[in-house]
């Protein structure tokens, strides 16, 4: 079994804990479904949030989904002038026999503009 990495991002409409939870849950669910994964396939997830998001920890959404025994960490994204606002990004490390080229990275809604080269 190989270790792979899956990227993803979602832009929030507003900085509210409930909204963040909904959008991050949608992102995580899409990453799992599009890659045929379960929580048992997860090794760890790194979350970043743009500096304008501070209502909650994005990792809290993973816990709400039942991802409770996977190491999670949150960090602040770089504050780059002109960058897309209100974005949560993930980098999930997984165990999978899927070839690297066949991993489906997930960029939801407006966040698809961040990585047009790999967004599904």
Q: Model confidence over 41-89: pLDDT tens digits?
A: 999 999 999 999 999 999 999 999 999 999 999 999 999 999 999 999 9
Q: Is 34 noted as a catalytic residue in this protein?
A: no
Q: How many CB atoms lie within 10 A of CB 46?
A: 16
Is 107 catalytic? The answer is: yes
Annotation says 63 is catalytic: yes
* Catalytic status, residue 77: yes
Cα distance between residue 37 and residue 76, in whole Å: 27
Distance between CA atoms of residues 84 and 23, nearest Å: 16
Which of 4, 7, 23, 86 is catalytic? The answer is: 7
Residue 72 CB burial class (10 angstroms; 0-12, 13-18, ≥19): buried
Quick check: is 74 catalytic?
yes
Largest separation between any pair of C-alpha atoms in the chain: 41
> Which helix (H) or strand (E) element contains residue 63?
helix 59-64
| pTM of the predicted protein model | 0.94
Active-site residue (options: 4, 23, 86, 89): 89
């Amino acid at each position: 079994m190989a270790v792979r990495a899956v990227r993803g991002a979602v832009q929030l409409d507003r900085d509210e804990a409930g909204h963040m939870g909904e959008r991050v849950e949608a992102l995580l669910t899409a990453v799992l479904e599009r890659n045929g994964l379960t929580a048992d396939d997860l090794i760890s997830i790194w979350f970043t949030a743009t500096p304008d998001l501070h209502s909650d920890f994005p990792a809290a959404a993973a816990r709400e989904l039942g991802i409770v025994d996977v190491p999670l960490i949150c960090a602040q994204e770089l504050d780059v002038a002109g960058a897309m606002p209100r974005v949560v990004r993930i980098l999930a490390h997984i165990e999978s026999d899927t070839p690297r080229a066949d991993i489906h990275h997930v960029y939801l809604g407006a966040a698809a503009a961040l990585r047009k080269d790999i967004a599904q």
